[in-house]
Amino acid sequence: MKVKSIELKVSAYNKTQYPNDGLKQIAVIGRSNVGKSSFINAIVNRNNFARVSQKPGKTQGINFYIVNNTFYLVDLPGYGYAEVSKELKKQWSINIETYLNTSAYLVGAIMLVDIRHKPTDDDVLMVNYLKNRNINFQVVATKSDKLKRYEMQMSLKVISDTLSVDKEKIIPFSSLKKAGVDDVYTYLDSIVEA
């Protein structure tokens, strides 16, 4: 895969705004600060396409980015941000759940976790949800440049055990070093071309 074009089609605040054109949708999921914006920028090869370190103070929409006019990357709001009200947290989870529950075109997902940390309860819930819904997903462990090689292996084991996913299938990723990009393209290809 080569990203030849990408554009923000819509930032959706309710389900009537989700694209309905039949193109496949691949969700990008993770907790706030996991490195989701940096990840998207790295794979689309732009420095500031998705905004990095935007402090969430209000409800965020679901961003539908159309790639190569062939599929959507669906940027779901990062969950688990500590410093927002209960009300807002609830609204976020409703937005995320509404999308996951109702999208007819969701065929794949990239689940981001920080390579340095044990996945949170929310991460486990999310992965179990994807498994239960039979949505093909790929775990990507972000910020791999922050660990040494042997530390990385230990962390991947913790992530693998916590999420019950095959360790060998987790992609260590660094936006900074652009590591893991090709493996992500391979995953995207496998979904888009299926």
To the nearest whole angstrom, how small is the minimum distance from the Cβ of residue 176 to ligand GDP?
A: 4
99-138 residues near ligand GDP, rule: CB under 6 A: none
| Measured CA distances, 40 to 25, 86, 133, 136 (Å) | 15, 28, 24, 19
4-33 residues near ligand GDP, rule: CB under 6 A: 30, 32-33
Q: Which residues are 136's β-sheet partners? A: 108
Cα–Cα distance for residue pair 132/78, rounded to 1 Å: 21
| Measured CA distances, 51 to 78, 121, 138, 160 (Å) | 12, 26, 23, 29
- The correct pick among 79, 143, 171, 187 for binding ligand GDP (CB under 6 A) is 143
63 near ligand GDP, judged by CB under 6 A = no
Alpha helices (runs of H) in 9-148, residue ranges in sequence order: 36-44, 86-102, 121-132
To the nearest whole angstrom, how small is the minimum distance from the Cβ of residue 32 to ligand GDP?
A: 5
- Nearer Cβ to ligand GDP (15/118): 118
155 near ligand GDP, judged by CB under 6 A = no
Report residue 171 as tokens.
């992609």
- Nearer Cβ to ligand GDP (16/47): 47
Contact residues for ligand GDP, defined by CB under 6 A: 30, 32-38, 52-53, 78, 142-143, 145-146, 174-176
